[in-house]
Amino acid sequence: MLKTIVVAARDRERLAEISAVAGRYGLDMLLGRLGLAKNVGGSEPSDLPARTRQALEALGPTYVKLGQILATRQDLLPENWIEEFGRLHSDAPTLSFDQLRGDLEEALGEPVEAAFARFDTEPLAAASMAQVHRATLHDGQEVVVKIRRPGIARRMQADLRLITHLAGMVEAGSREARRFQPRALVQQLLDTVLEELDFTQEGRNADRLRADLSDNHRIVIPAIYWTFSSDTVLVMDYVEGVAPRNGEALRAAGIDPAAIADLGAELVLDMVLVNGRFHGDPHPGNLLCLPGNRLALLDLGLIGHVSGRRRQQFLTFILSLRSGDAQALADTLLIWHQGDQPSRERVVAAAEQLVARHGSGPLVLSRMVADFFPLIRKEGLILPPDLALIFKALITMDGVLGAIQPGFDLSEALQRARGRLVMHQLSAAHAPEKTVALLLELSRIADDAPRLLRAITRRLEAGENAHPMPLPDKRSEWTAYAIMMAGAMIAAAIMLH
């Protein structure tokens, strides 16, 4: 079916490449399950997840991003698929600087030699979307220059058009695949890719996170040099440190692994539960440990956002688990579920299993999640995409902390985060701009109060005259409204005074 899809002429060449890659890696079984090819039948080959991961890597950055999003969906995919997609990487061959110079100088508006006091033409790192070089500004500041690969935006946009088209076909043609919510996954992919293609978004993410974490002087986020930055080029501070892969390497550099573990836990919980903005992929390659037991965050292209309500729900989930309250845990799971209403009794039974295994003792998120997701898959529960990314970020950071400080327990950090969350919500509720907005609204209500009270009185009088036996619920509704308005006027008078 792939070869017969009607697409715009500009995308046909790319579709032919996709079909060829699917054939090369023998993905007939997978395409059949998705309703995109004749189902060849038979059982799933044991190496299908590995072949699918290899095909995604061969297809390039858009499909790698899709696989990385699927790697967060442990509520949808079994462990062998999650583990394989977790191995997806975006490494790419380096380009000679001559291939990048034209685009870089167009973005800078001047020759490289004029913009920088020194520029290393040998790349520091290369990925599928960009290549990174070291440089020195004229004031002596050491920086890195991230340059978008030529032509990558056009190719990824073609991929996004095709994937969007395929998602509609999958959702219409496969009942099994509809459970994966393909169009919702593609929307998440669209948002992710379009944001990462525009390097100004990464720069803004860095500025926002730096502001969020400004009170914690042990967290370092590279400064962005906007004079040199654009949608295709990003210039930021060069940061040198040690990746948090094991405790021995940190100790050899004079860094205390226990202090870094405490700081990392505080950081990720503050980002997720207090600030509502977090690094979406805090693996060791995106973190650096610095002298003074400090921690730097790098590669801020993927940032997750958490609403205030979701923060409360997630904290309730963790605290219900730790307190052994299976009923509250089940309530949260049912709130999160997207789809047909499951049996509450079965969800409570699953919550009780989770409490029995992880309700006491050290809290190791990776172990808890290893039990949690199979349970919710068994009950057919589907999590919202933003929640899946939260779990992925927390699990990733938990793995980092456990690697440098074996046996690290997140429970104490969670208790501290609860206090910070409460204080943050109280301060946000009393923010000056909210107080002003409330006063203005109450002032407006006060101005309208005489007219509204007259209208209410007329309505009550008319109800008595027109309906000798008015319905009690209607009378109660208007009486309650009158009381509410009177209370609002009293509050307005006091506050405005």
| Segment 384-402 mean pLDDT | 83
pLDDT at 287 over 80: yes
What average pLDDT does range 167-193 have in this prediction? Answer: 75
SS3 (DSSP) at 239 = coil
Interval 210-247: pLDDT, tens: 999 999 999 999 999 999 999 999 999 999 999 999 89
Q: Answer yes or no: is pLDDT of 476 > 60.
A: no
Tokens of 422: 């409460």
Q: Could you read off the pLDDT of 80-125 as tens digits, one per residue?
A: 888 898 888 766 789 999 999 999 999 999 999 999 999 999 999 8
Q: Where residue 264 falls among pLDDT bands split at 50, 70, 90?
A: very high
- 0.85 exceeded by pTM: no
CA dist., res. 102 & res. 488, Å (int): 64
Q: What is the mean pLDDT of the chain?
A: 81
Tokens representing residue 404 in the block: 């440098």
Tokens of 385: 């995409």
Q: What is the dihedral of CA 188, 190, 192, 198, to 10 degrees?
A: -160
The CA-atom distances, in angstroms, between 425 and each of 33, 271, 419, 440 are 46, 14, 10, 22
Which one, of 78, 317, 313, 51, lies nearest residue 180 by Cα?
A: 78
The predicted pLDDT at position 447 comes to 61
Q: Is the per-residue pLDDT at 471 higher than 50? A: no
DSSP 8-class letter at 286: G
